[in-house]
Structure 1
């Protein structure tokens, strides 16, 4: 009953501020103990150009969550000891962690070299090939799914077979008009597990499928499917460099970041020693 009165009271207030621009923005809309929720807070969370009904729904939801949170805080405050409620140490630790994190990020943005050359990527790949075995098969493939009543198999096969830039553009244009789904990855590696989910047939042996033929035609009651395998690598094969290039770049940058931050901490310590910014006391007792 209490919640209904709160919401009903707010709906009246909501109508007032949506229909009258002179209504005071800091009118109270809910109260729990000594805590008060004001209309100005609701105005902050409401998106611009929201409809009246949506604003009512969103506002009432916010009020409901605010009341539950404040009641929980009140209950916790009543039942925890003063020692348990003393958060000064935790807050100080959190502040320290946050300010150090922000400082490190600012230093990284300002001073760390984030350029990774192609040569660096190639050298890392050559040194760490054992770490780049594929966990699943990948392929360069073209997949087309066209409604049966629109499909022209001979034309589709002819378009798919032409892997020149002009041919790919023509295939994309054709698929844009007629295909339900299409994936044209002549020069890009894709995960074969993702691709084969679109097939009407269940492929259980990736190696047999990928190494068998370059063209596969499939049909179901509604669609004609064409799959063209341009290249492939099987699970446990060494991943092609271009497939893992971005991962290697991120690995190099992460290692560089670790070294940078370690050097930064050591430099700050050295500066502290030189400028006598700290002192270590002898705590030995005789």
Structure 2
């Protein structure tokens, strides 16, 4: 009996001391999808928020809700299972991944790349003929 009391007390103490996760306030919920203030702020251009933040958030929220409803309807209709849709989604995913990899590689290479003004001038002096216009420049 005492064992059960101790176990109960330990469980109560653990339950009371457990930190609850503070979540970002939600602007909207559609099914299991949630639009947070943080997510909306990240997707709304700053110049639009500066003009009228309330209207910007309301407009973004309304558009997000419409999009989520369409997405959920597409899943309900199983449009995502159609061969042409799957093919296009795979193509979009592949294109995006390729571009992300390219950007990563370029940014990684650019970390070590630095050209001084002196090096640029020396290159120009050695290759002046390459910088001559074939045609006259007219404004």
* TM-score, normalised by the number of residues in structure 1: 0.28
Query: Higher relative contact order by CA 8 Å / sep ≥ 6: 1 or 2?
Result: 1
Larger Rg: 1
Query: Which has a greater percent of strand?
Result: 1
